Structure 1
Amino acid sequence: MTDVEQIRSFDKLFIGGEWVEPATDKKIEVVSPINGKVIATVPDAQPEDMDRAVAAARKAFDEGPWPHLSPEERAGYLRRIGDEVKKRMPDMAAAFTVEIGAPQMIADAFHDNARKMWEDSSTLYQRFTFEEERSWEGGKGKLVREPVGVCAIIIPWNGPVATGSLKIGPALAAGCTVVFKPAPEGPVSVMMLAEAFDAAGLPPGVINVLPGGREAGQHLISNPDVDKVSFTGSTAAGRKIMESVAGRIGRVSLELGGKSAAIVTEDADLEKTLGSVVFAGLGNSGQVCAALTRVLVPRSRQEEFVTAMKAAYEGIKVGDPREEGVLLGPLAAKRQQDRVLDYIEVGKSEGARLVTGGGVPKGFEEGAFVEPTLFADVTRDMRIAKEEIFGPVIVVMPYDTIEEAIDIANATEYGLSGAVFAGSDEEAEKIARKIRTGQIGINNWQMVVTEPFGGYKQSGLGREGNVEGLSAFVENKLIMTP
């Protein structure tokens, strides 16, 4: 069994600008997916803790200075947070590697993205119009954009520091106060982020950090003093959140699931396409909402691509994510491993051709590992072509005409990301404009979170990143002047 050392435990929650005792002695046991052993504990926030945090955020918004500071003054605090995050990046990345299983290279990149997000948030005031003159026939006035209020920010485990930073930065820039609930998986790196918030010296109650499970999260979003919910996670959970806040017409932003397609044309370059597609599908063990998990290729080129992808997948080093050269670590938890293995069995039973992978790599039975898995001859009616697997499973789908490829790409309830690989950028863009998705690459794939990021259809509501992300945390007020 691979040995994993203990990492830092936490025994308090960050509420009202202080590290406080939780309401109960319940603990979240942090289990490393590398070997299935407990490596740390953090408090398991309960409904009483959530109420305390919401009260602190409410007081900070209604009575505190934060929403009344100038945007430039708030930006100064955001720069301080970014500086504190930068100091802690190595420790946060190291913790994330063992608590979630991301290879060191990916962990470093995720936390560097968090730093970039704080830098970007600290400059939003220079690009965002908080107040402007308006006029109309018979009148004039000012349109002012004010903070929406107390925001509940709820995130998953697959990149918590980066995802939290993406949401919290614009919320704070807008003048909102925040109750931040990370998932119970991978909470240690987030508690280190809370230490960065503390060190930055924001007014009490502006940010509150409480890891907890579904019950605590449900209690949080049901609190009538929460003005806005910003959630990243599964489409099913997003749907429940919408139902929960509907009674009070609560504001909500949702970044949800994806089943993104890479369309490969007849004249696309094999080597260049392969370089993007392999990473875009398998990065972080496929546990990325924007991952390219459907590869649409001309039927005449399917075997060419399948052969090349098979060789690439079988050349990927799978193992302990702390080891040099490892590109694919474990999934985040045993239950996630079970989910992915079940989908692989579904794919085989539906008639898809298993090209490579499909099981647990030898020597790693104690962890939550799954081999890089490739299916071919996949049709649009198969579950593995329609449902988000959230693991290292890629499907190749042949098509006969580019119109059919576009139709297949759009024939999903999701619309988060995508890419088109063609012989020319002009042809790729022509196709890309017909795909209903929030971001799409032209002869490349990126997940750009400092520009508008979000999805069509059941991939979510709203956008995150840049001024569009800030817009999600303001209300528009028209002041009519004489």
Structure 2
Amino acid sequence: MPTAEPSKAIDRRSFYIDGKWVAPQGTAEIPAIEAATGEVIGVAALGSEADLESAITAAHAAHTRGEWANTSPAERAEVLHRFADALAARGDATSELATRENGMPIGLSQAFNGQAPAHLLRQYADLAADFDFEEIRPSAQGATIVRREPVGVVGVITPWNYPQAKALISIAPALAAGGTVVLKHSPDTALDPYVIGEAAEEAGLPPGVLNIVLADREPASLLTRHPLVDKIAFTGSTASGERVGAEAGRRFKRMTLELGGNSAAIVLDDVDLDAFVTGIATAAFMNNGQTCTGQWRVLAPRARYDEIVAALAEWASTQTIGDPLDPAVTIGPLANERQLNKVRGHIADATADGGRLVYGGKQPEGLTRGWFIEPTVFADVANTHRIARADLFGPLVAVIPYTDENEAVALANDSDYGLAGSVWTTDEQHGIDIARRIRTGTIGVNYYLNDFYAPFGGVKGSGIGRELGPEGFQEFLEYKTIYASSALLPD
């Protein structure tokens, strides 16, 4: 088990603002708690509105100077590749630190906290280097230049579940587009995001282009209200997204809101049950179920309902629960005590609503420290039950019966959310046909895993805008139209 002693090496008592590490303007601090032990591993300063004001001012000044936006895309790409190299060199240590903070199994953390950030920087650096930022079109009076420019100052507000990847999903395209950034990360992963600042400094990113301040919700709302912030990129719960959207909307800010969900995994009659049970680990239980795309509703045909419930219970019973730094562990702790209590509340609600607890729902035997709970399977759940309507964010699934495919599609679409989903069948083309009928931003057939080169985002209460792929890059650009003479047109 990792050491429970606080390490000065991971204390974070300064912020990265205007290319420098600066002392906070207040005295508030927060302990960083190890998810597997419940013990302190470091301390971080909590920023005030004054700290965020400094960061916003620095980002705006950098954008106004144009030192970054006016460099060529190829020059920006060169700096971003150095940034990526610096992050990659820190990847192993960053992965371990993030796992200690939020309980993510170390193999997953190495992928999303150690490798993905550098990959995203390189991906968007290369995309920008080849991107046509101006296009000349013929017009009735001569020619029109359609120009795409950086949106300006971007406020990036990130969650604790994938702290490094979620930060760079917004930071990388914003910087590649020529924008400047203020990152406000979650107090529940207070330590690891500062590695991003260290890597940016090493790469030679100009002062003010990237700024990093840790703050609670109230001071952080300055980002959504401030007139010098041009866009908000937010990931979090739907309830928080509603507040962010309302505040940012009053200033007519551009927004990307990646919010909550309770997606459906539709199991068809002809399913390969072994493939489904193997795939559910990613579709529903990835990162201990703390993934916004979690398919916590399993829609099962009545003809195979008992078989599917039994298979899920068997899978849950074979998982290795424990220290997330152990590569053999498949289910680690939840990120914090608040999250554990929330999941326990969902389990209590499901029982009260008449759901049948098939497996799990308890603290694992022998794990008395940290925020652990067994992977949990409920049967006999109706789509109207609270467990089928809430953003669960934990290692549990509710199995809901259906009679025919039309009912399965109706049940999947009967949700306030629309972020993810999956269809499980031996007839892939038929699965694709079913997938086309589901109102959701993303959906997989016989597996679910995000593709960094394709757009990701939700509909309904799961948000607006898109991340990833070329579409995610263009979220950080504004159009400008310049009317000019026909002399600009090619012969």
- For normalisation by structure 1, the TM-score amounts to 0.98
Which position in structure 2 is the counterpart of 1:433? 436
Q: Distance in 2 between matches of 1:423 and 1:136?
A: 52
- Do the aligned residues in 2 keep the contact of 1:452 with 1:465 (CA within 8 Å)? yes
Q: Distance in 1 between matches of 2:207 and 2:133?
A: 24
Q: Distance in 2 between matches of 1:150 and 1:379?
A: 45
Matches within 5 A, 1:75-474: 75-111=77-113, 112-474=115-477
Q: Secondary structure at the match of 1:230?
A: strand
1:477 aligns to 2:480 (yes or no): yes
Residue 159 of structure 1 aligns with an amino acid whose one-letter code is Y
Which position in structure 1 is the counterpart of 2:489? none
Q: Distance in 2 between matches of 1:126 and 1:194?
A: 23
Equivalent residue in structure 1 for 2:53, among 51, 54, 72: 51
User: CA RMSD for the aligned pairs?
Assistant: 1.4
**Cα distance, 1:297 vs structure 2:** 1.1
- Do the aligned residues in 2 keep the contact of 1:166 with 1:449 (CA within 8 Å)? no
Q: Secondary structure at the match of 2:159?
A: coil
- Do the aligned residues in 2 keep the contact of 1:128 with 1:467 (CA within 8 Å)? no
> Residue by residue, what CA displacement relative to the aligned partner does 1:77-136 show, whole Å, maximum 9, x if unpaired?
111111011000011001011111111111111122222211211111245331112234
- Do the aligned residues in 2 keep the contact of 1:47 with 1:220 (CA within 8 Å)? no
**Cα distance, 1:410 vs structure 2:** 0.7
Query: Which stretch shows the higher mean deviation, 371-380 or 442-451?
Result: 442-451
* Residue correspondences, number: 482
Alpha-carbon distance change, 2 to 128 in structure 1, aligned in 2, over 3 angstroms: closer
- Do the aligned residues in 1 keep the contact of 2:4 with 2:40 (CA within 8 Å)? no
**Cα distance, 1:448 vs structure 2:** 2.2
Q: Distance in 2 between matches of 1:444 and 1:432?
A: 12
**Cα distance, 1:139 vs structure 2:** 4.2
Q: Secondary structure at the match of 2:143?
A: strand
**Cα distance, 1:279 vs structure 2:** 2.9
Equivalent residue in structure 1 for 2:31, among 29, 50, 62: 29
Query: Alignment identity in percent?
Result: 39
Equivalent residue in structure 2 for 1:16, among 3, 13, 18: 18
**Cα distance, 1:27 vs structure 2:** 1.2
**Cα distance, 1:5 vs structure 2:** 4.4
Q: Distance in 2 between matches of 1:460 and 1:139?
A: 41
Alpha-carbon distance change, 127 to 258 in structure 1, aligned in 2, over 3 angstroms: farther
Which position in structure 2 is the counterpart of 1:4? 4
> Residue by residue, what CA displacement relative to the aligned partner does 1:273-308 show, whole Å, maximum 9, x if unpaired?
111013321111110001221111101111111111
- Do the aligned residues in 2 keep the contact of 1:33 with 1:333 (CA within 8 Å)? yes
1:41 aligns to 2:6 (yes or no): no
**Cα distance, 1:2 vs structure 2:** 7.6
> Residue by residue, what CA displacement relative to the aligned partner does 1:49-73 show, whole Å, maximum 9, x if unpaired?
0000000001000014111111111
Q: Secondary structure at the match of 1:141?
A: strand
Residue 208 of structure 2 aligns with an amino acid whose one-letter code is G
- Do the aligned residues in 1 keep the contact of 2:25 with 2:51 (CA within 8 Å)? yes
> Residue by residue, what CA displacement relative to the aligned partner does 1:407-447 show, whole Å, maximum 9, x if unpaired?
11111111111111112111110101111111111122112
Q: Distance in 2 between matches of 1:408 and 1:114?
A: 36
Q: Distance in 2 between matches of 1:126 and 1:76?
A: 9
**Cα distance, 1:365 vs structure 2:** 2.9
- Do the aligned residues in 2 keep the contact of 1:127 with 1:467 (CA within 8 Å)? no
Alpha-carbon distance change, 74 to 2 in structure 1, aligned in 2, over 3 angstroms: closer
Which position in structure 2 is the counterpart of 1:68? 70
- Do the aligned residues in 1 keep the contact of 2:283 with 2:447 (CA within 8 Å)? no
Q: Secondary structure at the match of 1:205?
A: coil
Q: Secondary structure at the match of 1:284?
A: coil
- Do the aligned residues in 1 keep the contact of 2:59 with 2:182 (CA within 8 Å)? yes
Listed as ranges, the gaps of 5+ residues in structure 2 are 486-491
Alpha-carbon distance change, 264 to 424 in structure 1, aligned in 2, over 3 angstroms: same
Q: Distance in 1 between matches of 2:209 and 2:3?
A: 39
- Do the aligned residues in 2 keep the contact of 1:117 with 1:450 (CA within 8 Å)? no
- Do the aligned residues in 2 keep the contact of 1:278 with 1:309 (CA within 8 Å)? no
Q: Distance in 2 between matches of 1:379 and 1:449?
A: 34
- Do the aligned residues in 1 keep the contact of 2:164 with 2:193 (CA within 8 Å)? yes
- Do the aligned residues in 2 keep the contact of 1:280 with 1:291 (CA within 8 Å)? yes
**Cα distance, 1:251 vs structure 2:** 1.3
Residue 6 of structure 1 aligns with an amino acid whose one-letter code is P
Q: Secondary structure at the match of 2:69?
A: helix
Q: Distance in 1 between matches of 2:255 and 2:327?
A: 41
**Cα distance, 1:138 vs structure 2:** 4.4
- Do the aligned residues in 1 keep the contact of 2:282 with 2:449 (CA within 8 Å)? no
**Cα distance, 1:324 vs structure 2:** 3.6
Q: Secondary structure at the match of 1:162?
A: helix
Q: Distance in 1 between matches of 2:165 and 2:99?
A: 14
